């Protein structure tokens, strides 16, 4: 098992490029199941979650090639509409194959999904939406078994206790593309990754309107075609790099980014004293003399993203005063708090909020990554901490960041990947 050994205290300087979005690429890969024709997906990060999705597609009969961040898929007539536990158990986004399988094969057997341990993430909205389209669903032996002789469009409300659901929106939207009639998704997710999926489906021949709004209208078509598509940049990776530059007191430029996808994050960075220079597809970051405290509430897009909550918390551990971070998307997503406290942070959690009293410094320690974004937060802490930090279980970070250690090292970080 790999660990990161980080020697902290190095200012990061220079330029760094953002890769393709994991959270956009995964449902797009699932959507390739909707056609028998070849699809070419560019700008796909070479990370473990993507490789897991490709194993699922291959298990279903897809022919897959992956080279130079480009994936070619072709799922002909020999589609096997089953996603087994050994793959699905490691990655929640694998649930996205459910909608495409129902739409094309009228049958799906998909294991309950796994993924990061960040609190309950029920799939009730997925099942509700697919049932509304006409599917019958049984839950048996840890599998979702869905059948649909005929799927018809309907007005479907997808609101949950914590707002809209990204993956449920993706599943219902994909299933609706080949359903009869018109489907209207109310309270649909507006995340950039959903917009990218919708654009991919439209290229395939789907009839979708309103996909950047909470009301998405899908008029079913008879068939979809293979297409070529380039995945959007990863806004979470971009945000992580921006915070890395800020927390180390450096001066960096993040390239190949869409600033409009990070509006809430940029606003908070300015609020805490970070200087920003925004270009068409670049963001320059330079730190002020001292980080200021702030209050943050995570919300669905265009609000502050939950996937950058842990990383921004690391930044606030060194702020003047007291910061409060309230988690409205995954209220239990605070497993990283205890590990940051081991490094000298002063954080306590009360309900869905974390209260952070700024410390003068962080100190290197041996810490354990618990999930994908928490592991990124610990790497950021290691960059600024005095001494040496050892981050264990970095397989979590490999799920969502392609060569993050090598990329940060090009800016002046000292991160060594080694076997434990």
Q: Which residues contact 119 (CB under 8 A, 6 or more apart)?
A: 330, 331, 332, 333
Q: Which helix (H) or strand (E) holds 392?
A: strand 388-392
**Alpha carbon distance 133, 108 (integer Å):** 15
Smallest CA-to-CA distance from 239 within 216, 259, 219 is with 259
Cβ–Cβ < 8 Å for 63, 73: yes
**Rama region for 220: left / alpha / beta (φ>0; ψ in -120 to 50; rest):** beta
Place of tokens 């929640």: 92
- Helical residues (DSSP H) of 183-300, grouped into ranges: 192-204, 235-247, 263-271
- Helical residues (DSSP H) of 41-158, grouped into ranges: 48-59, 85-88, 98-105, 124-132
Cβ atoms within 10 Å, residue 406: 11
Return the active site residues: 116
């Amino acid at each position: 098992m790999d660990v990161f050994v980080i020697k902290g205290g190095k200012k990061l300087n220079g330029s760094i490029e953002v890769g393709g979005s994991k959270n956009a690429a995964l449902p797009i890969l699932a959507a390739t199941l909707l056609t028998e024709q070849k699809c070419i997906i560019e700008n796909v990060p070479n990370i473990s979650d993507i490789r897991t999705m490709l194993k699922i597609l291959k298990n279903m009969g897809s022919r897959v090639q992956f080279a130079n961040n480009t994936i070619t898929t072709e799922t002909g007539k020999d589609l096997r509409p089953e996603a087994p536990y050994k793959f699905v158990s490691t990655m929640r986004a694998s649930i996205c194959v459910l909608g495409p399988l129902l739409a094309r094969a009228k049958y799906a057997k998909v294991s309950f999904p796994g993924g990061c341990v960040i609190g309950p993430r029920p799939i009730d909205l997925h099942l509700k939406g697919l049932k509304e389209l006409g599917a019958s669903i049984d839950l048996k032996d840890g599998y979702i078994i869905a059948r649909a002789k005929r799927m018809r469009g309907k007005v479907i409300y997808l609101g949950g206790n914590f707002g809209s659901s990204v993956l449920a929106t993706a599943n219902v939207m994909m299933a609706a593309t080949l359903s009869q009639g018109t489907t209207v998704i109310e309270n649909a997710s507006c995340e950039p990754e959903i917009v990218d999926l919708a654009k991919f489906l439209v290229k395939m021949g789907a009839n979708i309107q309103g996909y950047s709004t909470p009301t998405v209208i899908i008029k079913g078509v008879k068939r979809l075609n293979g297409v070529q598509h380039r995945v959007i940049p990863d806004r979470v990776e971009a945000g992580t790099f921006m915070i890395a530059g800020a927390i180390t007191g450096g001066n960096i430029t993040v390239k190949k980014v869409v600033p409009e996808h990070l509006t809430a994050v940029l606003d908070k960075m300015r609020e805490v004293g970070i200087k920003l220079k925004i270009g068409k597809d670049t963001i320059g970051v330079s730190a002020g003399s001292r980080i200021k405290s702030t209050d943050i509430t995570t919300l669905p897009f265009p609000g502050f993203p939950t996937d950058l909550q842990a990383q921004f918390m690391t930044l606030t551990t060194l702020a003047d005063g007291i910061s409060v971070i309230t988690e409205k998307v995954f209220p239990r997503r605070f497993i990283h708090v205890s590990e940051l406290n081991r490094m000298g942070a002063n954080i306590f959690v009360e309900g869905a909020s974390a209260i952070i009293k700024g410390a003068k410094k962080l100190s290197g320690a041996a810490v354990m990554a618990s999930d994908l974004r928490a592991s990124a937060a610990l790497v950021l802490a290691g960059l600024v901490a005095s001494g040496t930090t050892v981050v264990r279980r970095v397989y979590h970070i490999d799920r969502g960041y392609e060569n993050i250690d090598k990329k940060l090292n090009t800016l002046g970080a000292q991160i060594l990947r080694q076997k434990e």
